[in-house]
Structure 1
Amino acid sequence: MTTPGLLIGAARSGSGKTTLALGLMRALTRRGLRVGAVKCGPDYIDPAFHAAATGRDSLNLDSWAMAPGWIAELASAASQGADIIVAEGAMGLFDGAPGGAAGVGASADIAALLGWPILLAHDVSGQAQTAAAVIRGLATYDSRVSVAGVVLNRIGSERHRRLVAAGVQEAGLPVLGSLPRDERVGLPERHLGLIQAGETSDIDNRLNGLADFIEAHVDVLRIAAVAGSTLQPVRPRAEICQPPAQRIAVARDDAFSFFYPHLARAWRAAGAEISFFSPLADECPPEQCDLVWLPGGYPELHAGRLAHARNFLSGLKAFAQTRPVHGECGGYMALGQVLIDAQGVAHEMAGLLDLETSFQNRKLHLGYRRARLLADHPLGLKGRIFRGHEFHYATILKESGEPFAQARDAYSDRDSPAGLRRRLVSGSFFHLIG
């Protein structure tokens, strides 16, 4: 695999990685290049914007949840038919958690495994020459990775730019662009991050605007030239999550959109068929399917519509009498008795699990999870271990019954009950990665 790639990293979240990544992806695509997009870490929203910017699916690579062989296999998939791979990092470049399958979940792990040079997006607001010290620290902290250049973000003036750039160049790193402060540049956000790509009005014009902004202030061709050839680690093929059924009905709309493309690829490669349906359009699960998968998303924003989607709810209940139904996070909440929205209004859900959840009093739940099945399940036999993550603000008012799994976070050595299981219906707040 020789497709060149680069990874956009930063010292911390909020440094401008997404702005730079999306603008660069669209700018390169407009120049006629076929761009393979990658997102580091457990993220559903950014990859959908990548796909909108490039016209190709974006894949997640996660060194905490994925073994090296699977990372290499997915990188190979991202490179197929591509002229260049642009990977967007997560959080700070070296941020992660212990006990991972191929690393700590840091973006730096992905760059090291695949040989991708790093392009740093550095927020210089409140800094001048000190920025060079921070950037030099990032460039020399880990000998496994190489920083190829820097794009300075939130420059306040031409004088500010000269002061910062001089220090960075003295530190031996090229400045490949300088983005001025401009509050008009960006995308709308909500409590789990950006508004979803499918919900963003005039998304094509917005992406072209980001590309125009990047083109005006960044040396796009020079950045493309520093991309390095993607390495193929010599590793045994990873054990990839097997499909839970032959014919899988997956809910997909604005309420249930958090479904990883890499899972779809793996399941299809193993011979499974995936059919999508929309609960918000009051569609029943396809009758010919063997299992229903309700992904996460934003059911709390559409709880009223879901409560009145009688065809969907009755069809789901009928399906669950004879075939398995599984829900993740938002899908788990939809399987419960009641979902209370941010305004305190209670909405009746499917009632297939003894669960009540609320968004009226929000509390962040975030982190990697290692889960073990407590009984045989379509996902695997009793005792099967899975890796994934949890990210939601919902609070549990009632959760009663047989647990779906035992789970722990990356910083714990103790398992706790996770989710619920009743006959053929199961779910939890845990998002499966692999």
Structure 2
Amino acid sequence: MSVPGLMIAAPSSGAGKTTLTLGCLRALVQQGLAVQPFKNGPDYIDPAFHRAAASRASFNLDSWAMAPGLIDALAGQAQGADLAVAEASMGLFDGVASTGATGNGASADVARRMGWPVILVLDASGQAQSAAATALGFARFDPALRVAGVIFNKVASPRHESLLRAGMAQVGLPVLGALPRRTDLALPERHLGLVQAQEHADLDSALDKLAAFVRDHVDLAALIAAASGQAAQPSAAQLPPPPAQRLAVARDAAFSFLYPHLLLGWQAAGAQILPFSPLADEAPAPDADMVWLPGGYPELHAGRIAAAGNFLAGLRHHAQTRPVHGECGGYMVLGQGLVDKAGTRHAMAGLLGLETSHAARRLHLGYRAARLLAPVGAMAAGTSLRGHEFHYSTILSQPDQALASVSDANGAVVAEGGSRRGQVTGTFFHMIAGQA
């Protein structure tokens, strides 16, 4: 039996999807419902907020990077819940030009596959009845998708709301809510998105305020009634195999960008995850088969990392005989040095020749398809991977051999192929799955 679900989407980024999703998740949980959150696309920050709001792990669903069996297997995590709520990315139909096994990464792909109706969030700033034309266009663009209703955001006044509702009545689309303009409920942001959930000073209180705001201005009963879906058909999930059976994984505010479905898949395959905190100057477990440094914000903690003698000594000792891998931020920590935003250089582990800088910011963004040129733990040379890159660091020096041949979503070669030196490896892309 399928769990009914919804996709909260919008015509573009910045319409208020995350605010509404978090408020809905917390409000529905406060009503006694078990709600399974999901996030479309490769975003690794929003799911942590989803988990805090719903008290249930949130999983990424990505039609470009994931094979059909993996999407269905992860959607199956909703079993046992009363409702699935997925947050879209960017605009509902926005994706890359090329397609993977199930689509081009657009939120519409996942909503269509799961049979989830779309709740369209419209930023009503500067318009009234004209918003109905936008909603009607989205409702008619793809006949395989159902737009179940609209929630307006940034409504200026009761008169403004009445005009918006009049336009929607004209095109026959339900209005499920109207959120007044509020500036005091915004969550703090950083250059890669929201400040991480664990860094928010009083996240529970903020989520409770969002829930109260949503309860006051959204018809939650109508929202629940609009949900529907179709049973997922899990098959071989095509997760990359565990890179090691006893895997020491850095987990703290500097190393937090590791997709929950990877940990779930590795543990299901029998791997033991051994977490440790470099910021607390903890060394990786001495009996670990491999060390994995995820991405995050090491540039914000570079001084503490450089001074974490126990962590660095343990990492260097491990690297003498066993594999170590770093993704993005973790990759930078494996290098010789990291220059922070202020221009100060901090010595890092020195296990790779990489030197990086955040003083001259340059955005690197996009899907990545990669073929390993050397092993990464138990992942053999020749393994094909799909992932995503999103950072602002600049490479100053990278003398080591490339780890992988890498291309973007459209097949264009990406010059940055990571590094390898002995059993130490690193990449700027975050692994999502095996080749879709």
Aligned to 1:143: 143
Query: C-alpha displacement at 1:417, in angstroms?
Result: 4.7
Whole-angstrom CA distance in 2 between matches of 1:415 and 1:131:
40
Aligned to 2:171: 171
Whole-angstrom CA distance in 2 between matches of 1:379 and 1:5:
37
Whole-angstrom CA distance in 1 between matches of 2:95 and 2:424:
33
Whole-angstrom CA distance in 1 between matches of 2:147 and 2:117:
6
Task: Provide, for residues 203-239 of structure 1, a one-character-per-residue CA deviation record: whole Å limited to 9, x for no partner.
Answer: 1000000001101111111101111033324x74332
Aligned to 1:304: 303
Query: C-alpha displacement at 1:69, in angstroms?
Result: 1.0
8 Å Cα contact 1:370/1:386 also seen in 2: yes
Cα 1:241/1:337, change in 2 over 3 Å: same
Query: C-alpha displacement at 1:148, in angstroms?
Result: 0.4
Whole-angstrom CA distance in 2 between matches of 1:288 and 1:113:
43
Query: C-alpha displacement at 1:375, in angstroms?
Result: 2.3
Query: C-alpha displacement at 1:29, in angstroms?
Result: 0.3
Aligned to 1:404: 403
Task: Provide, for residues 314-359 of structure 1, a one-character-per-residue CA deviation record: whole Å limited to 9, x for no partner.
Answer: 1000000011000000000000001000100100000000011011
Aligned to 2:354: 355
Instruction: Report the TM-score when normalising by structure 1.
Output: 0.98
Cα 1:172/1:379, change in 2 over 3 Å: farther
Whole-angstrom CA distance in 2 between matches of 1:377 and 1:188:
36
Query: C-alpha displacement at 1:130, in angstroms?
Result: 1.4
Task: Provide, for residues 144-163 of structure 1, a one-character-per-residue CA deviation record: whole Å limited to 9, x for no partner.
Answer: 21110110011111111111
Query: C-alpha displacement at 1:168, in angstroms?
Result: 1.6
Whole-angstrom CA distance in 2 between matches of 1:313 and 1:427:
16
Query: C-alpha displacement at 1:379, in angstroms?
Result: 4.9
Aligned to 2:372: 373
Q: Secondary structure at the match of 2:413?
A: coil
Q: Secondary structure at the match of 1:262?
A: helix
Aligned to 2:90: 91
Aligned to 1:272: 271
8 Å Cα contact 2:250/2:293 also seen in 1: yes
Aligned to 1:72: 72
Aligned to 2:42: 42
Aligned to 2:127: 127
Whole-angstrom CA distance in 2 between matches of 1:114 and 1:28:
21
Q: Secondary structure at the match of 1:280?
A: helix
Instruction: Give the superposed CA RMSD.
Output: 1.1
More deviation, 391-400/374-383:
374-383
Task: Provide, for residues 27-81 of structure 1, a one-character-per-residue CA deviation record: whole Å limited to 9, x for no partner.
Answer: 000000011010111011110011101111111111110011110110001x132
8 Å Cα contact 1:5/1:230 also seen in 2: no
Whole-angstrom CA distance in 2 between matches of 1:171 and 1:305:
57
Task: Provide, for residues 363-409 of structure 1, a one-character-per-residue CA deviation record: whole Å limited to 9, x for no partner.
Answer: 11110000111123325222221001000011111111110101011
Matched to 1:403, the amino acid is A
Count, aligned residues? 432
Query: C-alpha displacement at 1:411, in angstroms?
Result: 2.5
8 Å Cα contact 2:123/2:153 also seen in 1: yes
Pairwise mapping of residues 409-420 of structure 1 onto structure 2 (< 5 A)? 409-414=408-413, 416-420=415-419
Whole-angstrom CA distance in 1 between matches of 2:394 and 2:412:
24
Note the residue ranges of structure 2 that are not aligned, 5 or more in a row: none
Q: Secondary structure at the match of 1:228?
A: coil
8 Å Cα contact 1:404/1:417 also seen in 2: no
Whole-angstrom CA distance in 1 between matches of 2:404 and 2:26:
42
More deviation, 93-102/113-122:
93-102
8 Å Cα contact 1:113/1:231 also seen in 2: no
Aligned to 1:198: 198
Matched to 2:167, the amino acid is G
Query: C-alpha displacement at 1:26, in angstroms?
Result: 0.1
Query: C-alpha displacement at 1:415, in angstroms?
Result: 5.4
Whole-angstrom CA distance in 2 between matches of 1:416 and 1:191:
24
Q: Secondary structure at the match of 2:51?
A: helix
Whole-angstrom CA distance in 2 between matches of 1:209 and 1:417:
43
Matched to 1:4, the amino acid is P
Q: Indicate yes or no: 2:298 matched with 1:323.
A: no
Aligned to 1:189: 189
Matched to 2:264, the amino acid is R
8 Å Cα contact 2:325/2:376 also seen in 1: no
Matched to 2:174, the amino acid is P
Whole-angstrom CA distance in 1 between matches of 2:388 and 2:120:
26
Matched to 2:157, the amino acid is S
Aligned to 2:343: 344
Q: Secondary structure at the match of 1:257?
A: coil
Aligned to 2:387: 388
Whole-angstrom CA distance in 2 between matches of 1:174 and 1:313:
58
Whole-angstrom CA distance in 2 between matches of 1:279 and 1:45:
20
8 Å Cα contact 2:3/2:231 also seen in 1: no
